[in-house]
């Protein structure tokens, strides 16, 4: 079982460059989300999706775009990278959790540095 797969594992960008962090899950989960992890701040929700074609903003969405064209994939786009986006990014998925409380399955993370 692959679970949640994130690529790349490491990335260095220059300010103003764009890139896409990839996330794929093979568990047929309806719910997918992106978090960023910064020291002392835990994980903060960037964007989430409750199904193909449906996305919404989380706590810290500025500077990031998402789309969900298939159930399996949920890419995160940085249109113009800024040093403040230096962080570790985690993708997570779960069953729909419309009532909440579902277990999140996390990818292994992408460490991004913006110079």
Partner 1 sequence: AQSVTQPDIHITVSEGASLELRCNYSYGATPYLFWYVQSPGQGLQLLLKYFSGDTLVQGIKGFEAEFKRSQSSFNLRKPSVHWSDAAEYFCAVGAVAAGNKLTFGGGTRVLVKP
Q: Which residues of the chain form contacts with partner 1 (CB under 8 A)?
A: 4, 31, 33, 35, 40-45, 48, 50, 58-59, 90, 92, 94, 96-104, 106-109
Task: Give dist(CA 92, CA 9) in Å, integer.
Answer: 15
Task: Give dist(CA 53, CA 33) in Å, integer.
Answer: 14
**Residue 14 vs 103, nearer CB to partner 1:** 103
Instruction: Say how many residues make up the chain.
Output: 115
**Residue 1 vs 40, nearer CB to partner 1:** 40
In this structure, are residues 98 and 114 in contact, taking their beta carbons and an 8 Å threshold? no
CB of 65 to partner 1, least distance (A): 18
- 114 vs 52, 64, 90, CA distance in Å? 30, 14, 17
CB of 11 to partner 1, least distance (A): 15
**Residue 81 vs 89, nearer CB to partner 1:** 89
């Amino acid at each position: 079982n692959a679970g949640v797969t994130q690529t790349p594992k490491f990335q260095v960008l220059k300010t103003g460059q764009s890139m896409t962090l990839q996330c794929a899950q093979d568990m047929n989960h309806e719910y997918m989300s992106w978090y960023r992890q910064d020291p002392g701040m835990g994980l903060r929700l960037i964007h989430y999706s409750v199904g193909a074609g449906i996305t919404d903003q989380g706590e810290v969405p500025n500077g990031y775009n998402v789309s969900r064209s298939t159930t399996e994939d949920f890419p995160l786009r940085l249109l113009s990278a800024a040093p403040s986006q230096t962080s570790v990014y985690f993708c997570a998925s779960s069953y729909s959790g419309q009532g909440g409380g579902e277990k999140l399955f996390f990818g292994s993370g992408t460490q991004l540095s913006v110079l």
